[in-house]
Structure 1
Amino acid sequence: MGITGKELAEKLNISATAVSMALNGKPGVSTEMRKRIIAEAEKAGYDFSRLQLKKNHSGDIYCIIYRAHNAILNYTPIFSELTEGIEAECRHKGYGLKTLQVYENTDDLTQVVEELRICGCVGIILLGTELSAGICRRFLEASLPMVLLDASFDAIDCSSVLINNVQGTYLATGYLIDRCNEQPGHLCSSYSIANFSERKTGFQKAVREHGMSVSKSLSHELAPSIEGAFSDMLEIIDSGTPLAKCYFADNDLIAIGAIKALKLRGYKIPDDIAIIGFDNISEGRILDPSLTTIDIPRRFMGQTAVDQLIRQMEDPASHTVKLQISTSLIKRFSV
């Protein structure tokens, strides 16, 4: 039979706590001491499989996808990357994961919250893309550790992990202005969510800091889907509404729909009108011309949300945090 942790501590004349921290990869011991403990454990036949068993926690983390109007979450590939990151990190940290979709129009939220209290849920990651502050408070009534993903509310004390929309849009609009040397227009979503509101702030900030007037930027409202944006943009073009020489679009779906409409009416992209999107979805890569856009590390966002939730579960007294994940510019041929 192999040596126990307590016996190993006695043999090395150190505390059992130090042995536990070293074997479990936790901070609190020096690198040299950790190496010494692990080497001695291997030599003495310590059963390292015990550590793996300890990692399998009881209870599940719940990833809850809240759907309101479903205009945004209807495009699933974006959010599957988030959930892949959540799943990978839960598996790595030894937690089970269950995914629950809650529909505003059909599900009884009171019942959902009550079931969360009794179903073995140990923590919640709430995808808040279409969430309101009022609904967020309802989920907090479950009295479980919770992290908001892709949303944040100033009036609610809840940790959140979200996109740095202002930074990404500022980056995109600045690049658009520098390349085109023209007053940029804005292809806005006709559905209002916090992400799009923040992107408007980033757009206006970039316009002002390039010495231009925000009031001179043309703005068109389009549905946040390829088909909807295509139809809306055709109507705008056919109505004779003046068009800008370049546009920032609130997301790639809007950008792609607008490009298809413009090309159908004889405009050349980017020679006549340049367009940049936001999200870096796969359709943008195969579009002709391929779409310049802003990339979001969605898998990393999901992993970060799990890390923050586990930290909150292990230390309930810790302060809440708001983590904004930076984005990067993908240069292609629509600008």
Structure 2
Amino acid sequence: MATMKDIAKLAGVSTSTVSHVINNTRFVSDEISARVNNAAKELHYSGPSVLARSFKVNRTKTLGMLVTTSTNPFFGEVVKGVERSCYQQGYSLILCNTEGDHQRMHESINTLLQKRVDGLILMCSSLEGEQIDVFEHYPDIPVVVMDWGSMLFTSDKIQDNSLRGGYMATQYLIAAGHTDIGCITGPLIRYQAQMRYEGYKRAMNEAKLSFNLSWIVESDFECEGGYTAFMEMYQHGRLPSAIFVANDMMAMGVINAANECGINIPNDLSVIGYDDIHIAKFMSPALTTIHQPKYRLGQAAVETLLKRLDNPASDTQTIQLEPTLVTRNSVKIIAN
């Protein structure tokens, strides 16, 4: 098996020069890089085709992605879009889970950067509003973030229009004839949860409908949170005729809790969710929801990152994808 020493001898350069070319640790002229590349090919050094691309464009053809572990299949559907797009573009993907742990999150970012990924996709809402000092040491590594609010580091951003989605969901319930409408929000410290709640409030105010604070409960975007939030609402007495639940996972918890309480969906209580995860149409009843283009979110993140690699000096951008309404069987139409 050929070694760096063999390549150095054939190329007529030092072993350290070969190391710098292969590991991209110091600038080496195109002429010398080509000699090392040709020697590596001639000696069948491991991965010559990958090396050749790296020498030519100074890239590893690898992207890193950081995601918060969750039971919500929404994340898996987005990751699928990222992975498929990477494959189509000839890139590999290194995926790291944070498990919701800040230390692990920072360690994962360090690990991905040390592996010389060409760029990073971050889908970890616990980073929202944080200063990530490590990025200052890697100013040439482009970063794309997904589904976050304000950030203290430079990056492109991909998100869905959650304000419009929350507005659309509530407006649909109003058009269906509901006037007593509750809302189970996600954690309001998170931008997307806050925007969905703002959309709910905007639709209610436009229709001049009153708010019952007993029907507005903040939760955590998980099934258990939806279950607990509904039970809290139920214990306060009279229920609304409809609830906008800020994601499908919580909506599943709500429907489960309602069934336990003998409340029929949608005859006694209408429920609309958000995300349109794959299993939403297989729930009983099938869930009316706001479709978030999950695969397209992942695809857009990769496309944006590759554009940034080709044009590093261009202005950062926020790409906003629009939600759509998916009507199924969980909302009762009571309008005349």
Instruction: Name the TM tier (shorter chain).
Output: 0.7 to 0.9
Contact 2:65 2:120 in 1 (8 A): yes
1:207-246 deviation line (CA, Å, top 9, x unaligned):
1122324467831234432234224423542x34332111
What displacement does 1:152 show?
A: 3.7
TM-score w.r.t. length of structure 1: 0.74
User: Structure 2 CA distance, aligned partners of 1:266 and 1:113?
Assistant: 48
Which runs of at least 4 in structure 1 moved beyond 4 Å after TM superposition?
A: 53-57, 108-114, 135-141, 214-217
1:20-46 Cα shifts (integer Å, max 9, x gaps):
xxxxxxxxxxxxxxxxxxxxxxxxxxx
Could you tell me whether the CA contact under 8 Å between 2:214 and 2:233 is conserved in 1? no
Instruction: Report the CA distance shift for 1:124/1:278 in structure 2 as closer, same or farther (over 3 A).
Output: same
**RMSD of aligned C-alpha atoms?**
2.8
Q: Aligned match of 1:226 in 198, 223, 230?
A: 223
What runs of 5+ residues in structure 1 fail to find an aligned partner? 1-49, 68-72
| Structure-2 residue corresponding to 1:40 | none
**Is 1:212 matched with 2:213?**
no
Output one character per residue of 1:106-140: Cα deviation in whole Å (capped at 9) or x when no partner. Answer: 74566544444432211111113332221555445
Query: Hey, what does 1:248 align to over in structure 2?
Result: 244
Tell me which residue corresponds to 1:24.
none
| In the alignment, structure 1 residue 124 sits paired with structure 2 residue 120 | yes
SS in 1 for 2:172: helix
The match for 1:322 among 315, 318, 323 is 318
Tell me the equivalent position of 1:179: 176
Answer yes or no: is 1:86 the counterpart of 2:87: no
Partner of 2:144: 147
Residues 186/136 of structure 1: CA separation in 2 closer, same or farther (3 Å cut): farther
Q: Cα distance, 1:274 vs. partner?
A: 0.8
Q: How many residues align?
A: 278
Tell me the SS of whatever aligns to 1:167.
helix
Correspondences of 1:1-335 after superposition (within 5 Å): 58-67=59-68, 73-103=69-99, 105=101, 107=103, 111-136=107-132, 138-139=134-135, 141-143=137-139, 144-153=141-150, 156-189=153-186, 192-214=189-211, 218-237=215-234, 239-335=235-331
* Identity among equivalent pairs (%): 26
Partner of 1:270, secondary structure, is: coil
What whole-Å deviation, never above 9, does each CA across 1:297-332 have from its counterpart, x for those lacking one?
111111111111111111111000011111111101
Q: Is the 8 A contact 2:160 2:292 kept in 1?
A: yes
Structure 2 distance, partners of 1:128, 1:140, is 19
Gaps of 5+ in 2: 1-48, 332-336
1:202 Cα deviation from its structure 2 partner: 0.9
TM-score, structure 2 length as denominator?
A: 0.73
